[in-house]
Structure 1
C-alpha cells in the first residue's frame, strides 16, 4: 500500500483538555452499562502533576517534565492524553489530513485505514471523536508498526469501538489500557463523507518523580538509563509493579520478574514505599519457579541496603529463611526448576529447564543469596542467621572447589552466577571470563532479565568495557530497532532483518512483549557501576562513589535517591573537573578514577588534598589507592568541587569482532519444489511427506538422525498435508527427478498456550565434518507467513548464525547454512497463523552464497 507521511504535532493535552478527559470518563458512567465503567471513572482522574518545562531529550517519557508534590505508594492511577506525532494513510484519496496537524481534523472520503504513531510505547487506550460517522469501522493498537497478527484463540487487538456520545473508544479489556505505540482506524465500508475531529491516546500513569538521574559521554548509555526507567514507570500499576504486556495473561507482578524492575525503580524514582508494597504483594507467591523465590530474597536485600528499613527485613525473616532453607534442601539433587530463562542455553523457558547449565546456575545463585543474606543479617544484628547462611554458602562452595576444574562445564549463565557469589579466586574468574565472556555474540543472553546478572559478573571481574559493549549490543540494539521501552527478549541480529519498529519473532516466550520491566536492571547497574554510587551500609549511612568509565567514556554524572537525601556526583576525566554532594547523615568514599593515566594532584574546594600523599582536611579523613583509583575516605556531608590533574592518555578499547561459528549461505526463492539437482545431493528429509508426522527421508551417511521438539503435547510439532498428488511445483518433488506428482506437507507448531508457537529441528552428526544444510519453507495456503529461523550448536545451544526471516514463501524459499557439527534450528512465527517447515536438504559445504532473491 502507498502511505503518505505527515509531520509531528504537539502531543500532550493539558488544562481544559484534561478536564474534558475527566468528563468523558464520567460519560462512561452515564452511557455505559458495564461494571468496570464506574470504577475507572473514579480510578483514573486527570494528572495532578505540575509541569516544570524542564525536558530531557534522552528520555522517551512524554511527561518527564511533570512533577507531583508528594507521590506515595497509596496514590492511584492518573491519566493524560497524547496526540499522534505522525500518521499514514493507505489510500490518499480516502483521507484528507491536510488540517490534522493544525486542528486534529480529518475528512474521510472513502474506505481504507489510517495509522497513527504516538512516538513511544504507552500504557493507554485509543479513541477518536466524530460527530457524523457513517459506515462500518474498526480500530487496532500495536507495539509495532503493523496490526497484531495473533491466532484466533487470543484476544484480538482489532475490534469495533465502543461509542460514547461522539467518542469511539477501543475497549480491549476491563482495565482499558494496553501497551500501545501505534493505533489504527479502519474504515471497512463507506457510503458518505464524514469527519474525525480528534484522535488521542488516554494514558495511565502512577504519580512518581524522577529523583535519580544519569548522564555520560555516550548518549546511547544515557538513553538506555532513561528507557529502563520509563519501562518501569509504565508498569507501576494501580496496586503493584506489574506488566502492560499486550497479549498475555500475566499482567501482574511476578516475584522473580520484579527483581530487576524494583532495583531500577529505586535508583530512578526513590519510591521505596512502592517497592516495599510490591515486596509484600509478591512475598507469598509460589509459581513453582525455584530461582524466582531466591530473586525475591535478593529484592528484599536490595530494599534493605537502600532503605535501612530493619523492621521490614525482620518482618520477612521467616519467609526468607523458608526460601533459603528450601534451596539448601534441594541443592545438588537436580530439582525441577520449571523455568530459568528464555535463553536456549537455559532450556528455552519452560521447554526443558533442567539442563546442566540451569542446574549449575541455580546452585551458584543459591550460594550467592545465602552469602548476601548472611551479610544482611550481620548488618541487622542477627548473628545467628549470619552464621547459619554463611556456613551454607561456604560449605557448598568448598565442596564444589574440591574439583579444580569445577567450572569447566559452566556456560555463560552458570559462569555469571558463579562470579556473583563473590567467592571466586582471581584465577577462577579469569578462566570463566576467557571461556564464556569473550564471544561477542554469545556473551549476550536472549533475555535482558538474565543479562542483568551477566553484566553484574562483568563488573565483579573488572571488565567494564566489555560490559558496556554488551550493553550497547543488547539494550542499545533495542533502541536502534526503534524501541522506546525494553523488551522481554531480543537478539541484536534482529535489526538486520526486522524493519524499523517492525514485528519481531514470537519465539519460545510466545508473543514477545516490547515493554517488559524485567529488562530494566541495566538502569540500576549503570547507576551503581558506571556512576558508581552504591550503599556500603544499610540506608546509605555509608556509601561508595566509585565511577568506572573504562576506556570508552570520558564523563559521567548523576544523582542517587536515598532516605537521607540525594547523592550527586560528576566526573570528567578529560577536563579533570569533578563534583560530589553528600547528604546529611551519610559519609562516603570517593574514588577518583585513574582511567590508566597518572594523577599528579587532586584539589578539593580549592585546596590540594593529594599530590602523591594525602594532605589532611576536616571533611575527608584520608586516602588510599590501587591501580584504578585514588580513594578519598569518609567524606562528610557537604559539597565537594574536585579538580584532578591528569598526565597521559587512556588507551583505546578494542571492540571484539562479531563472529558466528556457522555461515549463512543465502536464500533461494526461485527453485520452488524442484530441489533435484540443486539441493539434497547428500540426502534429504521431506517433512510429513508420508502423513501423520512421518517424513520421507534419505539421510546422508554422516547424519545419524534428525529430530523435532515442541513444548506441549507429545513433544512433537503438529503436521498437515495441504495437497496430495499435486502438480504444483511449489510442493517438493518426491525425489531428485523433480517429477510432478507431489505432496505439499509441513510440520508446524500451535498451542492453546502461547509459548507453543515454536518448534525445533535437530540434526545429529555421527562425526564432525563440513556440510551444507538447506531448510525449505512453504506458505502453501497463503496465510501471510513470515518465519524466523535461529541456528544453534546442538551440544552447547550457542547461537551460531544470525537470525534470518523468510518474509514471503508462498512460492517456497530455501535458507542455506554451512557448519561442521550437529546443529539445532528453531522455527519461529513472525506473521501468519504459524511457522512451518517442509523440507531439509544436505549437500557438500557450499563455497558461494545464493543470490536468488525473494519474489
Structure 2
C-alpha cells in the first residue's frame, strides 16, 4: 500500500469515526510529502534537485521557470517533478463526484464516462492516478490537444489500460514512460460499483537546466514567444542529446538539421554550451541522408564557435566540416537528390517532391552561405588556407549564378531567404527578392517554423524588422493564440479559426503534427540577437555588439545573454530615454542607442555627457559615431552603465499589410447531399472512383485540361473504394445532372505506408486563365467520424490561396466551394477518423461580381 492510499484510508477512517474536519489538511501534507520519494523508487528518475528562487515569470509556460539547479551539466541525468491538473471536464457529470477534488484530490466514481484533465501546458511526462478500491474497466489517454488522439495502428496508441503498481495506476506508452502531455483522461469503460480516485498527477521528466538568458519588451506576445521557444527546447533536452520528445514516429533522437535552430535557442536561453557541444558531437557523423542538414550542422558548429570561442572543439571538427562543404561544392548545379528540404508545399511537401526547382535553388544558396560563413570563421581561427578556399567557392558560384541576369526571378520565399542570407547580394537583387516574396503577409510565412527561422534572418539582413516582427506575430504568436505552450512542427495561422482553442490540428505529409518540436524555437535566438541586439562579433564574445532593432512597434526592450565570460545585459526605452547595459570582464562592446526614426540630441552616461552630436570623452568608452539608425558608443570597456538619451520627434506608425487570399471561399453546403444537379457542376464534374478500380466518371469543362491525384511516392493515385453501388441513398452522388437513380457511393482516400493515410492531393489544370467556381464533395458514408482539412494552392507557385477549411461532419455529404482563375492544387488532410476521402469535384461558371475580387482577412 503506497503512502497516498494510506493517507486516504486514514482520511476516511478519521472522518467517519471522529468527524475530524482538519484531517483533510494532513491528508494533503502526506500526499505532497511522500509522493516523489515513492516515484523515484519506481521510475529511476530522482525528484528535481533544483531550488525555488524568486517569482515565476508570467510570460513563460514553464512550471519550473523559477527553479534553479546548483551546477547543472551536460552529463546530468533526467529528474522528475509532478503536476496537478488546473481544470477538468466531465463527459457524464453524474458519474463523477468532484466535490472533494479541489480540497483533497478525491473523486468518487459513480458510473461510466470520461474525466479530462488539463495540466495547463505541454509537458514531457506520464499520467497516473491512485485508487484503493478500483472496480470495473478503466483506460487512460494523453494528448497534446483537447481530444483523444485517434491515430492509425502504425503509430503507437495513446490509449491503454493502465499498469497497476500497488494502488497506483499508470499509463505506460513506451519504455521511457514520458510522452507529450497537455491533456489526460481517465476513462471508465465499465462500471460495477462505486469506487474512489485518491489522486491524479502528471509525473514530468526534465534535464537540469537554468534560465541564464532573458527577454522582455513592450509587446507581451513577443516576450511570450521568446519564453515559449525556450521552454520548447528545454522539454526536448533529453539525457544525452537534444531530441524531439513528442514525435512518436520512431525518431526520438537528435536530427542534425532540426538541431540547428534548437541549439541556437538553447545557447541564448540557457547558456548550456557543454550540452550543445555534446549534441554537436552526437550529430557530427549523421545527416540522415538530407543534404541541407549536413550544411546546417556546419552552421551549428560556427554558431557554437561564435558564442564560445572553443577553438579546441572547432579543431576537432574542421575535417568533418570540410568534407560536408566539399560535397556541396561537388554537386553544386547538378540538381542532386535532396530527399528533404522542408514540409512547406513550395519545398516539395517534404519527401513528396523534394527535387523541384525551389529547394534546388535554396540548396545552392545555402551552400554559398555555408562556404562564406565557414571562410570567415577559419579566418578568425587562423586557417587562412581554408579561409581562402571557401571564400573562393562562395564568390565563384555567386559569380557564375549572376551570369544569368534574372537568376533570382524564379526564386520563391525559401530560395530567396537563403539567397539573402549569403550576405552577397547587391541592393537591386535584395529589393527584387523582397518585393517578389516577402511582402505577401500570407505567403511570407513558411508552413514549417523551422524554415521560417531562415526567413526572419533574411528579413533582418534586408533591414525589414517591422515585417519580420509581423510575420513572427502571425506564425509563432498564432500558435500561442491557439493555446500552444510549445512550438509546433507545422502551423498555418488560419488553423485557429478552423479548429478552435487547443483543438486537434490537421495531419499532413509528415504524418501527425507534433505540437512540441524544438526545430521551431529559432525565433528565441533571433529575438535576442536582432531585437535585443546582443550578438558576438568575435568568438566567445571577446567583442560584441548590442544593436537593438525596435522598428516602429516596440518602444522598449530588455534582457540578457549568457556568455562564458559573464552575462551581457541591456535595456532600452525610446519613450523615456532610459538605457542600461553591462559589459563583462574580458570583453569589449559596441553599443547602439536606437534612434527609431527620431532624433537624439544628447546622451549622458552615469550622469556625464558623452554625445550631443559630437563625442565627449568618458572613461570606459573609446569613441562615438552615428548613422541613420544608431548613435554608436565604441570600444566600451567592462562595467555597468546607465544612460539617458534625449529624444525628439516621433517614430512613424507601422502600416501592417492585410491578409490577402487570391481565391474566393464561398462556404460549405451541407444540405444538397448527392443531389448535385442544378446546384453544382453546371460546367462539368468528376465523380471520384465512380466506375470502380480508381476510375472516375468525368465530364470536364472545356477550360479544364486535366484532373490528377498524387500520393507520396511516384505518380500513383490514392487508394479507392466503392462503398455501395446501385443505391437509392441520396447521400451518394447522382450519376448525372438530372439527379438520376441508381447511384454509387465511392471515394478516393489516402492510405499507404508513406503517408500513413493522412493526406493526398488533387491538381486541376486549367487552360490559361479562366474564372470558375469549384466545389469538392466529401462523404463520410460509413460514418467513421471523419474530420477533413482542405488546403488550396496555386498549382504553379504552390502558394496558399485560401484559408485552411475544416469539414467537421460529412455523414450527409458536404461541398466546399471556391472561385479561382488558374490551375489549382488541393491537399486533403485528415484531422480525425479513419482517413481523408474525396467523392466529387464540380465546376461552375462564376458570376460577374466576384471575378478577380480581392478578399482580405477571409475567415
| 1:571 alignment counterpart | 572
1:172-211 deviations in whole A, cap 9, x for unaligned?
Answer: 0000000110000000111110000100000000000000
Paired residues of 1:708 and 1:760 also in contact (CA < 8 A): yes
1:144-189 deviations in whole A, cap 9, x for unaligned?
Answer: 0000010123211001000000000000000000011000000011
1:681-718 deviations in whole A, cap 9, x for unaligned?
Answer: 10000000001111000000000000000103653211
Q: Secondary structure at the match of 2:831?
A: strand
Distance 1:580 1:15, change over 3 A: farther
Q: Secondary structure at the match of 1:824?
A: strand
| 2:222 alignment counterpart | 221
- Separation (CA, whole Å) in 1 of partners of 2:130 and 2:737: 62
Q: Secondary structure at the match of 2:738?
A: coil
Per the TM alignment, residue 793 of structure 1 is displaced from its structure 2 partner at its CA by: 0.3
Q: Secondary structure at the match of 2:243?
A: coil
- Separation (CA, whole Å) in 1 of partners of 2:347 and 2:714: 21
Per the TM alignment, residue 404 of structure 1 is displaced from its structure 2 partner at its CA by: 2.1
Question: Bigger shift: 812-821 or 147-156?
Answer: 147-156
| 2:420 alignment counterpart | 419
| 1:103 alignment counterpart | 104
Alignment of 1:355-394 (within 5 A): 355-394=356-395
Q: Secondary structure at the match of 1:469?
A: helix
Q: Secondary structure at the match of 2:201?
A: strand
Instruction: State the TM-score, normalized to the length of structure 2.
Output: 0.95
Does residue 23 in structure 1 map to residue 38 in structure 2? yes
| 1:766 alignment counterpart | 767
- Separation (CA, whole Å) in 2 of partners of 1:847 and 1:506: 36
- Separation (CA, whole Å) in 2 of partners of 1:140 and 1:54: 33
What are structure 1's unaligned runs of at least 5 residues? 1-9, 29-39, 850-855
Q: Secondary structure at the match of 1:497?
A: helix
Q: Secondary structure at the match of 2:615?
A: coil
| 1:657 alignment counterpart | 658
Per the TM alignment, residue 654 of structure 1 is displaced from its structure 2 partner at its CA by: 0.2
Q: Secondary structure at the match of 1:564?
A: coil
Paired residues of 2:712 and 2:754 also in contact (CA < 8 A): no
Number of aligned residue pairs: give it: 824
1:741-780 deviations in whole A, cap 9, x for unaligned?
Answer: 0000000101234555211000001120100000000000
| 1:489 alignment counterpart | 490
Per the TM alignment, residue 403 of structure 1 is displaced from its structure 2 partner at its CA by: 2.1
| 1:266 alignment counterpart | 267
Per the TM alignment, residue 22 of structure 1 is displaced from its structure 2 partner at its CA by: 3.0
Per the TM alignment, residue 402 of structure 1 is displaced from its structure 2 partner at its CA by: 1.9
Does residue 557 in structure 1 map to residue 572 in structure 2? no
| 1:242 alignment counterpart | 243
Per the TM alignment, residue 671 of structure 1 is displaced from its structure 2 partner at its CA by: 0.1
- Separation (CA, whole Å) in 1 of partners of 2:495 and 2:731: 28
Paired residues of 2:265 and 2:525 also in contact (CA < 8 A): yes
Per the TM alignment, residue 848 of structure 1 is displaced from its structure 2 partner at its CA by: 8.6
| 1:120 alignment counterpart | 121
- Separation (CA, whole Å) in 2 of partners of 1:99 and 1:554: 48
Paired residues of 1:56 and 1:64 also in contact (CA < 8 A): yes
Alignment of 1:7-406 (within 5 A): 17=32, 19-26=34-41, 28=42, 40-41=43-44, 44-406=45-407
Q: Secondary structure at the match of 2:784?
A: coil
1:316-358 deviations in whole A, cap 9, x for unaligned?
Answer: 0111000000000000000000000000000000000101000
Distance 1:120 1:18, change over 3 A: farther
Paired residues of 2:123 and 2:181 also in contact (CA < 8 A): yes
- Separation (CA, whole Å) in 1 of partners of 2:179 and 2:849: 47
Paired residues of 1:774 and 1:842 also in contact (CA < 8 A): yes
- Separation (CA, whole Å) in 2 of partners of 1:458 and 1:215: 21
Distance 1:217 1:167, change over 3 A: same
Q: Secondary structure at the match of 1:295?
A: helix
| 2:474 alignment counterpart | 473
| 1:545 alignment counterpart | 546
Per the TM alignment, residue 19 of structure 1 is displaced from its structure 2 partner at its CA by: 4.9
Q: Secondary structure at the match of 1:768?
A: coil
Q: Secondary structure at the match of 1:489?
A: coil
- Separation (CA, whole Å) in 2 of partners of 1:180 and 1:338: 31
Paired residues of 1:711 and 1:756 also in contact (CA < 8 A): no
Q: Secondary structure at the match of 1:769?
A: coil
Distance 1:563 1:644, change over 3 A: same
Paired residues of 1:772 and 1:846 also in contact (CA < 8 A): no
Alignment of 1:383-782 (within 5 A): 383-712=384-713, 715-754=716-755, 756-782=757-783
- Separation (CA, whole Å) in 2 of partners of 1:827 and 1:259: 31
Per the TM alignment, residue 383 of structure 1 is displaced from its structure 2 partner at its CA by: 0.5
Paired residues of 1:18 and 1:80 also in contact (CA < 8 A): no
What are structure 2's unaligned runs of at least 5 residues? 1-24, 851-859
- Separation (CA, whole Å) in 1 of partners of 2:375 and 2:293: 19
Distance 1:754 1:711, change over 3 A: closer
- Separation (CA, whole Å) in 2 of partners of 1:174 and 1:75: 20
Paired residues of 1:558 and 1:569 also in contact (CA < 8 A): yes
Instruction: State the TM-score, normalized to the length of structure 1.
Output: 0.95
Q: Secondary structure at the match of 1:93?
A: helix
Paired residues of 2:534 and 2:546 also in contact (CA < 8 A): yes
Q: Secondary structure at the match of 1:363?
A: helix
Paired residues of 2:757 and 2:836 also in contact (CA < 8 A): no
- Separation (CA, whole Å) in 2 of partners of 1:715 and 1:556: 53
- Separation (CA, whole Å) in 2 of partners of 1:84 and 1:599: 52
Distance 1:607 1:755, change over 3 A: farther
Paired residues of 1:665 and 1:846 also in contact (CA < 8 A): no
- Separation (CA, whole Å) in 2 of partners of 1:537 and 1:209: 25
Task: Note the aligned Cα RMSD (angstroms).
Answer: 1.3
- Separation (CA, whole Å) in 2 of partners of 1:18 and 1:122: 22
- Separation (CA, whole Å) in 2 of partners of 1:225 and 1:848: 45
- Separation (CA, whole Å) in 2 of partners of 1:671 and 1:18: 62
Per the TM alignment, residue 499 of structure 1 is displaced from its structure 2 partner at its CA by: 1.4
| 1:6 alignment counterpart | none
Paired residues of 2:711 and 2:755 also in contact (CA < 8 A): no
